[in-house]
Amino acid sequence: MHKKLLIVSLIVICTFGYAVFHAVKLDNKLGSSKDYFQTNTVLKKLPDTDFKLFFEDRNVELLSHSSDKNAVIVHFWATWCGPCEKEFPEIVELTRLFKDNKKVSFLFVTVGDTKKDVLKFLKKYNVGDDENFLIVEDNDLKHQKHFGTYKLPETFMFNKKQDLVRKFSGAQNWQDPAFVDFINSI
């Protein structure tokens, strides 16, 4: 009886240790900076910032990119994020529904990824640089701070006045027709 209790205790301790190890590992991957989780304000408007384009060696200014659009959807994701991988095919399909709609712009922000990992991930889902959305990088995590996000995936939807109209945290069912209707309404 004493041996069974000892074995169960060891299993519980090992499981807890394993969970703590992976939590620390994920925390380190999200960023080691103390000010990473601090934001100056709650996001209400599209931030005045620029992103490095993934497929080109230049930056794109977010405000000028969005100036001729009715809606701008900014989606934060990472290749190492399980929920991001789960929803990725659906959100790509959503962007394809708006392929001919010049009033909507999609910006996919890779977070804390290597170029090799992103290319492998995109190839897995048959996504290239000819898609109707921009893929940009946030490897130093400064843009997550501008948006006030530290959870992945997160999606921000802005109207033509560049006001935040909706924020979605976590994986979404992007195939739901309500998303198409909502994007068309903003």
- CA dist 121 and 146 (Å) reads 26
Phi/psi at 175 (nearest 5 deg)?
-85, -5
Q: Where do the domains of the chain lie?
A: 1-30, 35-185
| pLDDT over 70 percentage in the chain | 78
Task: Flag whether the pTM goes above 0.85.
Answer: no
Q: Tell me, what's the pLDDT at 41?
A: 43
Helices (H) and strands (E) in the chain, counts: 6, 7
- CA dist 24 and 20 (Å) reads 6
Residues of the chain with pLDDT under 50: 29-41
DSSP class of residue 153?
S
Specify the CATH number of the domain 35-185.
3.40.30.10
Tens-digit pLDDT profile for residues 90-117: 999 999 888 888 888 899 999 888 899 9
Residues 93, 99, 101, CA angle at the centre, nearest 5°? 130
Tokens, residue 184: 């068309």
